Every structure is written in C-alpha cells, then in structure tokens.
Amino acid sequence: MGAMRRPTMTDVAREVGVTAKTVSRVLNDGPVAVETRERVLAAVRKLGYQPNLMARNMRVGARDAAIGLVIPEMGNPFFGTVAGGVESAVRARGLTLIVGSSDEAAGLEQSLIATFLARRVSALMVVPAASSDHRHLRSERVAGLPIVFLDRPSAGLRADCVVSANREGSRTGVAHLIVHGHRRIGFVGDVPASLYTRRERLQGYRDALDGAGLPYDRALVETGHDVEAAARATMRLLSLADPPTALFAGNNLASMGAVVALSRAGRKDVAVVGFDDLPLAEALDPPLTVVAQDPAAVGAAAAEMVLRRLDGDRSRARRTTVPTRLIARGSGELPPR
C-alpha cells in the first residue's frame, strides 16, 4: 500500500456523502445545515484532514498568505529583534513570515526578493543592504504590492519606511558629552561611509558640534565594520597627537569595539556614548551610556504599515521615525581627563 496519500477535501466529502464545496463551506463558516456541519467535522477528525494552504492560496489571482522579510543578518540581535516585532504583528493577522538574510550584499538581497515575488507574497519588507538599488521594484509598487523598508530607506523608489531617529538621537548623545565638558569627541562609525544610518548619525554628531560652536575635525572620524575593526579604529583615535577625551560609537558593534579597546588599553578615563543599547551595558566598568533604539518597535511599526496597506490604504508613501532614548549609566558622564 506504500505511503498513503494525504486526505483531501474530496476524501472528506466522499466519507460524508456530500460535495467538496460543502466541506469547504464548513471550514470557512459558510451557510451549512447544523447536522451536516457536524458530520463533516467528524469526518475531518476521523481522516485527520488538514486543509492545504498552498491550494487555497492558489485561488484566482490570490496571493500567498505570507510576508517576505529581508534582513542583513539574522544573528545580529538588532535585526533579530526587528524580525521578532514583525513576526508577532503579522501572525496576529494569520500571515506567516518568510525570511532571508542578505549578508549586506545587494545581489543576494535582490535574489531573495525575486524568490519572494515568485512566491507571490502578500507584502515585502526589506532592510536594504548598503549598496542596494530598488528601482526594479517599481512595477510591483505600481501593481499595488505593499513594500515597506526598515531601518534604512529605499534607494530609487518612493515607498514607506520606518527608521530610528538616527540624526536626532546621535545629536542628543554627542550633546550629552559636550555638556559634560568634552570638546574633542571621536566618532567610530559604520562602514561603508555611504550607509544611510552612518551618514545620519555622523550628521547628528556634526549638528551637536555646530550647536556648541565646536569645530568638526575629520581626524576624529574613524570607521570599523565589526568589533575588531572598531577596536582598532578606537586605538587609532586614542593615539592621535591631540586625542579625543570622549567617543561616540555609531552602532552596537562600534560600541563593543570601543569598549573592548578601552578595556584592553586599561583606559577608564575616556567617556563613551554608544548608539544602540547592549545587554551588558550596565555591567561594564563604567556602565555604558547609550542612545537606545527600539528595534521591536521598528519591526512592529513597519508591520502595522504593511497591514494598513493590505487593508487598502492607498495614501502616499510615508516615513515613520521611531524615537530613541538616552540612557545615562556612567560612561557618558565622565569628565574630560
């Protein structure tokens, strides 16, 4: 008898002596006689019938009851938390989440998007890779597919997006250092320099300097794409002839790099403010002052935007900014040496 076929709606119908459509009606709360409904449900249980969502989604012109999400990296808790925020919001609507990670590579991102489109997902959510371009999505937008960008805006496409208050948050964090007396403040930022979040946060850094009448010194701006690189960048800053007395780290990896470098160098006299909170921030010595983002809120806001679009909201593309919050813990309040 071999592997037996999984029961279909027709099998259930035959068991009861009705038509597939009647079974369908039972399962979709259509108009069915009470007695018929019960017999159908009994047969469903007896046969262990499970509706086939693939087939259901195949109905005339219908889309897959799934949302495609592209993030740069799943292991990064920032993006993981964003994805978690998306998933719970989306599941509440009976949609499932399909994810892929682009590894920050535009080509991979595009092929993931192509796969999702081929699956006819109901909506697309993308954290764009650094150098990606989204003009190829124009026809999809025109056709009405909801597309929302997270954390970073799209390139070459007018579409909804949800971002953190990068520039404002960064300005606040640097101003905090200035208030505590610092006049030479190093910036350890993302790579590449063209990355949206890096540009915005650097701009916030400059805003703060401008606001205090301090000069912008290019020598104080360094770059590192991972923890080790950020640590090296930090060491370069500290070994300048006229070194900074404080550091502003432009993301979570840069913060870790700065903290690691200072720890290795045994320096506890350099003030630090990091962009994005870290789980162990409080346990550091001194505890790390940060400009905290709210990744779950970014994910949730983006998901809500998608759901509104799915509900028919055709208003023009909107940018949502999720506020940041300065959390003073000690490292940002150190006075200049």
Binding-site ranges for a copy of itself (CB under 8 A): 3-6, 48, 50-55, 57-58, 61, 64, 66, 73-77, 79-81, 83-84, 87-88, 91, 96-101, 114-120, 139, 143-144, 227, 256, 259-260, 262-264, 278-280, 282-285, 287, 295-296
Tell me the three state secondary structure of residue 78: helix
Q: Which two tokens stand for residue 294?
A: 């709210």
Residue nearer to DNA on the CB measure, 14 or 308: 14
Instruction: With contacts defined by CB under 7 A, name the span among 22-30, 143-151, 244-252, 294-302 that binds DNA.
Output: 22-30
- Contact between 75 and DNA by CB under 7 A: the answer reads no
Contacts of 133 (CB under 8 A, 6+ apart): 106, 155, 156
Q: How far apart are CA 258 and CA 332, in angstroms?
A: 13
Distances (CA, A) of 186 to 5, 160, 170, 327: 66, 33, 13, 19
Tell me the sheet residues that pair with 121.
Answer: 64
Q: How far apart are CA 106 and CA 131, in angstroms?
A: 6
Cβ 12 to DNA, closest distance in Å?
Answer: 8
Cβ 26 to DNA, closest distance in Å?
Answer: 8
Instruction: With contacts defined by CB under 7 A, name the span among 5-13, 72-80, 86-94, 128-136 that binds DNA.
Output: 5-13
The tally of CA atoms less than 13 A away on the side-chain side of residue 116 is 29
Q: How far apart are CA 44 and CA 274, in angstroms?
A: 57
Residue nearer to a copy of itself on the CB measure, 81 or 320: 81
Q: Which two tokens stand for residue 190?
A: 């993302």
Distances (CA, A) of 144 to 65, 257, 330: 16, 43, 49
* Residue 36 interaction partner, one of a copy of itself, DNA, none, beta carbon < 5-8 Å per kind: DNA
* Residue 19 interaction partner, one of DNA, a copy of itself, none, beta carbon < 5-8 Å per kind: DNA
- Contact between 61 and DNA by CB under 7 A: the answer reads yes
* Residue 30 interaction partner, one of DNA, a copy of itself, none, beta carbon < 5-8 Å per kind: DNA
Q: How far apart are CA 36 and CA 1, in angstroms?
A: 31
Contacts of 200 (CB under 8 A, 6+ apart): 166, 167, 170
Cβ 37 to DNA, closest distance in Å?
Answer: 7
Neighbours of 169 (CB within 10 A): 25
Residue nearer to a copy of itself on the CB measure, 34 or 143: 143
- Contact between 55 and DNA by CB under 7 A: the answer reads yes
Tell me the three state secondary structure of residue 320: strand
* Residue 284 interaction partner, one of a copy of itself, DNA, none, beta carbon < 5-8 Å per kind: a copy of itself
* Residue 8 interaction partner, one of DNA, a copy of itself, none, beta carbon < 5-8 Å per kind: DNA
Cβ 234 to a copy of itself, closest distance in Å?
Answer: 11
* Residue 139 interaction partner, one of DNA, a copy of itself, none, beta carbon < 5-8 Å per kind: a copy of itself
Instruction: With contacts defined by CB under 7 A, name the span among 27-35, 66-74, 166-174, 205-213 that binds DNA.
Output: 27-35
The conformational region for residue 297 under phi > 0 = left, psi -120 to 50 = alpha, else beta, is: alpha
